[in-house]
Amino acid sequence: MCGILGQVNFKTVSKNQDKFQKSLNLQEHRGPDDSDIYVDDKIIFGHRRLSIIDLDSHAKQPMVSSCENFVLVFNGEIYNYLEIKKNLLKKNYTFNTSSDTEVLLNSFIEYGIDCIKQFIGMFAFSIYDKKKNETFIVRDRLGIKPLYYFSNDEKFIFSSEIKSILELENIERKLNINAVSSYLSFRYPILNDTFFENIYSLAPAHYIKLSNENTEIIEYWNVTDKFKEQKNDKGEAYYLDTLKELLESSVKYRMIADVPFGAFLSGGVDSSVITALMAQNSTEPIKTFTIGFEEEGFNEFSYAKVIADKFQTKHTEIILSGKDYLHTMEELIEYKDAPLSVPNEVPLYLMSKELKKYITVVLSGEGADEIFAGYGRIFRSPYDLERIQNLDNLNLSDAEKIEFIKEFAKKYLVENFSTEVDHFLNIYSYTSLSEKQKLLNNDIDLEEIEKLFIDKFMSYFNELKDDSYYNKMMYAFEKVHIVGLLHRVDTTTMAASVEARVPFVDHRLVEFAFTIPLKYKLKWNSEKDKESAKLLMSDKISEEYDTPKYLLKKAYEGTIPDEILYRKKMGFPVPLNNWFGGHFNEYAKEVLLSKEARERGIYNIENIEKWLNSDKLNADHGFAMKVWMLINLEIFCNKNMFNQIRIHND
């Protein structure tokens, strides 16, 4: 786990090593153990090292091949590097280190860019081939590791963090309004852009090939074909056995390290399963960590303790206050080069800082909800649309049909939807278009920006054109939601020089998950329950009449106590409403009604002031969350010196 920075020159030869080193050092938190750069006429590659596998200095980067033709910078881990190395040894390759970095380098020499198809891991890397004058820049399949880039006619710059690009190139800082709108709706930019105009994020499962002045962006992995296998139902026993086999393999791979490791333990299903598998595959007690707030009802310590006691972990509880939260929020925004997406990023960062005293690698449970249908209220919602669009064909009385129409309109605020994408955006968008039009400057053409988002989701749905709406929704979550989730994990851990590993997004497990028929993920408790729920909306059905994430829960019955497996899902609790009733409200007004905010040209200050004085602020969590996001946006803008915004939507 590290930070990387690279510059590929098309025309000019730039050898300002001091400036490059200064830009690279902005990522010192990602790699505090070592640093080096490589320079020749065409490239400058830099690396900040967090030593995890092979701590010897011979494994440092940038790494040059023994033939001196190839140069590599690499952030991440190749977990199956020992198996790949074994095959390369049979082909007479020699190794000077025991690192996965050298295995990656020799794999590329042997197999070319197709080497990435062999890798089980998380990675963002670049390899330069001197003889061919070709550079490949690669991001892992699910987007676990970040990779940003900027290019013009003279050069191409890539980096693990945006701040290094800004420092190296002296780019004029212009706020990307599309990203602002996307953030308010989806919590992060979904168009492979960033909050900075002209700086982009390489999409997961893609690589960039630079050859002379030609630039190609190529997708190398996709799961759409896996959905077709659902038609061949192999039975619950098969899916249970395969799930357990793959997940145990995934966890065991992620326990490979030459430094101490542990686990985040929230007391939920996903972290509990990971902790159990780690304990079963370790001769030493696993170190586990959980965090919560001092306010009553805003921690899950009791549930985490059940698992910690059962598996005899070395468990640490961390308690936060609102005062800790505000200061840390501003600090973390600087690390992220973006507004925070969800309130629990702050406690995750503080927990990472604490656990760094004990470990360097932590396993975390992200991704299980997305691939095993854990968000029951959302993943059951296609059932709402299915019924409203086939109401005349349902076995319902006229009175029941009237009641159903009433409940549908109450939930969705419309009587029907013209497309599946319209329905999806209604439930997935955190802030609606009409709300954004109230909160942002009237001169911003939000309707045009919204069309970009609709087109994006429509393209994902069209990739599964003949498949069920359920599968289209799950695919959209894989393409969009997981990426934002993984970015949060990377930021909050790497800011504390901790490597997070995420077993549920092992690509083998993701591929398998999308072959599983829906009935094994989101299972009706009984036919009687399904009948009882015929007039209810998805939010009333979920976890009352069905079981989200059924297969995962069933697989670990007997290993994880039922009180953990089958308790109702709750997000990471942060007491926003409590705070907005007190000191946080004053803080919000200081930030959002400041002279700088008024002059920035983004907001509709009059409407924001009404929101800040509303009684809903300390009563409605969703309302408070939107204000929290605006605060994050303004802090981010202020820190990046975005002055008067020119309203344009390029």
**Over 70: is that where the pLDDT of 167 sits?**
yes
Instruction: Please give the Cα distance from 202 to 369 (Å, whole number).
Output: 24
**Over 90: is that where the pLDDT of 16 sits?**
no
**Over 60: is that where the pLDDT of 285 sits?**
yes
User: Where exactly does CATH 3.40.50.620 map onto the chain?
Assistant: 224-372+477-519+549-565
Residue carrying the six token digits 């009984």: 526
**Residues 498-521: tens digit of each pLDDT:** 999 999 999 999 999 999 999 999
Cβ proximity of 363 and 503 under 8 Å = yes
Superfamily assignment of 2-219 in CATH? Answer: Aminohydrolase, N-terminal nucleophile (Ntn) domain (3.60.20.10)
Q: Report residue 265 CA to chain centroid gap.
A: 18
pTM, to two decimals? 0.96
**Over 90: is that where the pLDDT of 331 sits?**
yes
Please give the pLDDT value at position 617: 79
Per cent of the chain over pLDDT 90 is 83
Distances in Å between the Cα of 349 and the Cα atoms of 69, 492, 634 are 40, 4, 21
State the CB neighbour count (10 A cutoff) for residue 490: 25
Please give the pLDDT value at position 54: 60
Instruction: Please give the Cα distance from 203 to 259 (Å, whole number).
Output: 30
Tokens standing for residue 350: 């503080």
Q: Which residues pair with 175 in a beta bridge?
A: 196
Cβ proximity of 600 and 644 under 8 Å = yes
Q: How confident is the model at residue 444 (pLDDT cuts 50, 70, 90)?
A: very high
Instruction: Please give the Cα distance from 348 to 590 (Å, whole number).
Output: 26
Tokens standing for residue 404: 């159903």
Tokens standing for residue 545: 């009449």
**Residues 512-571: tens digit of each pLDDT:** 999 999 999 999 999 999 999 999 999 999 999 999 999 999 999 999 999 999 998 877
Cα angle 202, 208, 210; round to 5: 140
**Residues 397-440: tens digit of each pLDDT:** 999 999 999 999 999 999 999 999 999 999 999 999 999 999 99
| pLDDT higher at 59 or 493 | 493
Cβ proximity of 210 and 134 under 8 Å = yes
Mean predicted lDDT score pLDDT of the chain: 93
| Residue 2 falls in the annotated catalytic set | yes
**Strand blocks (E) in 499-569:** 499-501, 523-524, 546-547
Residue from 2, 67, 115, 637 carrying the catalytic annotation: 2
Please give the pLDDT value at position 650: 46
Which residue type sits at 545?
A: Y
* Of 245-249, 544-548, 577-581, the least confident: 577-581
Please give the pLDDT value at position 326: 82
User: Where exactly does CATH 3.60.20.10 map onto the chain?
Assistant: 2-219
Residue carrying the six token digits 């962006």: 217
Helix axes 420-428, 446-463, angle to 10 degrees: 120
The CATH number given to 224-372+477-519+549-565 is: 3.40.50.620
Helix axes 398-412, 420-428, angle to 10 degrees: 60
Q: 353 burial class (0-12, 13-18, 19+ CB within 10 angstroms)?
A: middle
Determine the average pLDDT of the residues in 621-642: 91
| pLDDT higher at 297 or 151 | 151
Please give the pLDDT value at position 33: 85
Q: How confident is the model at residue 645 (pLDDT cuts 50, 70, 90)?
A: low
